[in-house]
Structure 1
Amino acid sequence: MRNWYRSTIGGLPRLYWYLWTGMLINRVGGFVALVLSLYLTSAQHLALPVAGFVVGAYGIGGIAGVLLGGVLADRWGRRPTLLLAHFGAVAVLAALTFARPVPLIAGLAALLGLMHAMPGPAFVAAIVDVTPHADRSRAFNLQFWAFNLGMAVASVLAGALAEVSFTLLFTVDAAGTLVTALLLLWTVPETRPARARSHHAPGGLHTALTDRAYLLFVGLSLLLAVLSTQTSTILPLAITGDGLRPSAYGSVVAYAALLIVVGQLFVPRLIDRWRKGTALAVANVFLGLGFAAVSLADRLPGYLAAASVWTIGSMIAAPPNAAVIAELSPEALRGRYQSVFYLVFPAAGFIAPATGGLSLRYLGDWHWVVCGALGLLAAAGHLLIQPARERRVAEQLAAERFAVPVAG
């Protein structure tokens, strides 16, 4: 047990744990987005098309927030970006609770999406700043575990509070966000490296958008995200199409979340000696095989078995995926690089349902075989780009190690 603690949790900086705790509290409390459509239709009595437009506004705000958060994290710093996003979200949640005109609700929803998305790049950039290179895989593994634990708790709270009062739901969400903001205010100083603060960083958002090595990795990550997004977009259609009740889908999602909460902490010891590209290739193989197995499932046990396989892939992928992004990001542009990566998720949120619906309709169970092929394709891609990426990382680490700090 002592060895497990040392290899999984021990040795990480105290400042990392402050950031980790803030992320967990914020994720547990951040459940308005989970039931936003329900609030709009049942409490505000909006028609489904109008509610869909408002939820879409939240998503558009999220895309803008990711990019803005990355730029501000590099220009202003991690701390002011995190504080602005969290205190801003508290204000927007309070306003949204009492808003009634539809245009105002839509505008506030977009602003809430922006505030919710802004902290992501700053949080991850701060973790990279404070965590030694050798410990980053463990740090990101614990971050992924906290994210899923928070999401599981938030889902339960959202359903319970929505049945009591939406006003109470918004209030609790705002309170959780405020607690996170105060924790960050009291415990987290600016973490941006001194070299980055002492002079204007060369390059900008366009640097990340034109970095060939980075974009190759982001492209492969998009394939992984498209596969993972099947669980929330196309899988429910497959399960109900087999004549199972919607509760069966809930059981599959809850089971997968439980696997992550129980098993994620043991992943670092499993993959610690693997090269990151190899770990990502193995992860994509598991994801591909898991979703391909859905083509054989027609009852709940079959879906649970498939979920076991693809969830193993998700758990293996999380630590090396985040660590590679950190390695490829220049020290002075970490926030911007993180923001470009975060665009993968809204992109996958569009691609998966837009193409998956048509694929499931015309290909039937072969849709899941195609998903399996995508997983194998992504696995091969990670193995192919691994040598060049490792050379790039070694050169970048050497350059940062021997860089002479600029007096400020």
Structure 2
Amino acid sequence: MRTVRSWFQDTTGGLPRTFWYLWAGTLINRLGSFVLVFLAIYLTVERGFSEFQTGLVLGAWGAGGAAGTLTGGILADRWGRRPTLLTAHLGAAAMMLALAFARDLWLVGLGALLLGMFAEAARPAFGAMMVDVVPERDRLRAFTLNYWAINLGFASAAILAGLAAEASYLLLFVVDAATTLATAAIIFARVGETRRVRAEQRTSGPLGAAPHRGGLGSALTDRVFVGFVALNILLALVFMQHVSMLPIAMGEDGLSPSTYGSVIAVNGVLIVAGQLFVPRLIRGRSRSRVLALAALVVGVGFGLTAFADAAWFYALTVVIWTLGEMLSSPSNSTLIAELSPATLRGRYQGLFSLSWSVATFAAPVTGGFVREQVGDAALWLGCAALAGIVAVAHLLSGPMRERRARQLRTAEVDAEQAAHPGPRPRLAAIT
């Protein structure tokens, strides 16, 4: 009992109150994330749209999401985290209700576009706020806890959405909008603005770079960070095959859609059961090696799919690549935080979020092309090879990223020291 209590205290203790308000908002919002789970089924079954029309609507949602991540990142830095989050949540709630009553295809597509934009605009502001309020030493735990809440909420939403859909598809939209408004209420009542702008940061960039001019170009010209984002796109291309090509592969093996649902549910169950143990497992270890190992594990999991022909074998592959996902997510989040200048955190969060939007669009296109041209086995073995390349790239580029992180931390400490003279804080080592 003492060991469990000690582990629980190590995992959850000492985090700021603001973090827990954000965490609660995340959990509530994800518990009600019904629309995304059942949108394709709603459009085809309830509305009678063709698969092509449904694809257009989902594509509009993805395009809106890509625009929202970039816009939300810029607004989080210029306007503030809190007003960006409130506007995004209120807009998303309104668009969910509007989408529920839209009838014509063009109106449904426009509603999906705006819903994607508002929903994803909150992500970079939320990430920047978490970095603002959580001390560096606690960020690994904080991001792990938040990732756990996302998966717990989403897994529960899939079950609850099925029950709600049996009663009324309109209920899906109403409950989703209500939980989004509840999150906005928590932010409005309990979370203050966390953005801090120092005069010296407004006039000069970090590490001797050009002054910040307030545009996205400040993040796009950071070659170290852009390289990191590029590696995430490559691994995300592999990871997103579980949404696009995996159900097709399982269907060709004679497995039903419900079997696919059960197999893919292993991902959420494993994350909820084990994610909170990850910080202690990777604490103090080389972050570049952890990311490389995570990429390798993801590659092995997807590569083995080439040989799967039964539900238990597919479930085993999901277990393997989920372990890689569990290792990479908190490491990615802490690295983004340390590579982001304080005045550009929103933009950097937005640029990283965009990598997932790119992969979400490109994964089914590239996966379908490879599968059609050279076969199913080539697709999955190609995923393994691509993940292996990402692993090697993480090992090679890791030292450069860590040097940049140390330099940025030193520059920010110097700026803080100049603004508030006093004892110089000691910088922790980064591995």
TM-score by length of 2: 0.91
Distance 1:364 1:54 in 2: 28
Describe the SS at the equivalent of 1:32.
helix
The answer for unaligned runs of 5 or more in structure 1 is none
Report the AA paired with residue 150 of structure 1.
G
- Give the letter aligned to residue 398 of structure 1: T
User: Is 1:364 the counterpart of 2:372 in the alignment?
Assistant: no
Q: Is 1:105 aligned with 2:108?
A: yes
2:80 corresponds to: 77
CA-to-aligned-CA distance 1:98-119 (integer Å, 9 cap, x gap): 2223322222221111111110
CA deviations on 1:264-313 (whole Å, 9 max, x unpaired) are 01111110021211110111111011111112211112112211211110
CA distance in 2, matches of 1:196, 1:155: 47
Amino acid at match of 1:252: V
The answer on 1:250 being equivalent to 2:261 is: yes
In structure 2, the residue matched to 1:393 is: 405
Aligned letter for 1:79? R
Identity %: 49
2:49 counterpart SS class: coil
Runs of at least 4 residues of structure 1 off by over 3 A? 196-201, 404-407
CA RMSD of aligned residues (A): 1.8
Alignment partners' CA distance in 1, 2:25 and 2:32:
11
Matches within 5 A, 1:31-42: 31-42=34-45
Alpha-carbon offset, residue 166 of structure 1: 1.5
Which amino acid in structure 2 is aligned with residue 306 of structure 1?
A: T
Residue 225 (structure 2) pairs with residue 214 (structure 1)? yes
**Post-superposition shift, 1:199?**
4.6
Q: Match of 1:176?
A: 179
What is the total number of aligned residue pairs between the two structures? 407
Residue 387 (structure 2) pairs with residue 375 (structure 1) = yes
**Other-structure match for 1:335:** 346
Give the deviation of 1:246 after TM superposition. 2.1
Matched residue, 1:202: 212
For residue 188 of structure 1, what is the amino acid of its counterpart? V
Q: State the distance in 2 between where 1:87 and 1:37 align.
A: 23
Tell me, yes or no, if structure 1 residue 44 matches structure 2 residue 47. yes
Given that 2:308 and 2:314 are in contact with CA atoms closer than 8 Å, whether structure 1 keeps it comes out as yes
Is structure 2 residue 171 aligned with structure 1 residue 161? no
Aligned equivalents of 2:95, 2:379: Cα separation in 1: 41
TM-score, normalised relative to structure 1: 0.95
Contact 2:124 2:347 in 1 (8 A): yes
Aligned counterpart in structure 2 of residue 323 of structure 1, from 325, 334, 352: 334
The residue identity in structure 1 corresponding to 2:230 is G
Distance 1:298 1:43, change over 3 A: closer
Cα displacement (A) at 1:95: 2.2
Separation in structure 2 between the aligned mates of residue 291 and residue 54 of structure 1, nearest angstrom:
29
**1:216 Cα deviation after fit:** 1.0
1:406 CA displacement: 6.5
Contact 1:90–1:174 (8 Å) recurs in 2: yes
Aligned-partner Cα distance in 2 for 1:359–1:102: 31
The residue type paired with residue 2 of structure 1 is: R
User: CA 1:196–1:325 in structure 2 vs 1: closer, same or farther (change >3 Å)?
Assistant: farther
Out of 318, 321, 335, the residue aligned to residue 307 of structure 1 is 318
Distance 2:397 2:253 in 1: 40
1:194 deviates by 4.1
**Counterpart code for 1:389:** R
Q: Tell me by how many angstroms 1:169 deviates.
A: 1.4
Q: 3-state DSSP class of the match of 1:365?
A: helix
Structure 1 residue 196: deviation in Å?
Answer: 7.4
Q: Which amino acid aligns with 1:168?
A: L
Alpha-carbon distance change, 95 to 306 in structure 1, aligned in 2, over 3 angstroms: closer
CA distance in structure 1 between the aligned counterparts of 2:261 and 2:29, rounded to whole angstroms:
23
Q: Give the drift of 1:189.
A: 0.2
Partner of 1:11: helix, strand, or coil? coil
Distance, in Å, in 1 between the alignment partners of 2:405 and 2:201 is 24
SS at match of 1:248: helix
| Superposition deviation, residue 202 in structure 1 | 1.4
- In the alignment, structure 2 segments of 5+ residues that lack a partner are 204-210, 421-431
Distance between the aligned counterparts of 2:102 and 2:292, measured in 1? 48
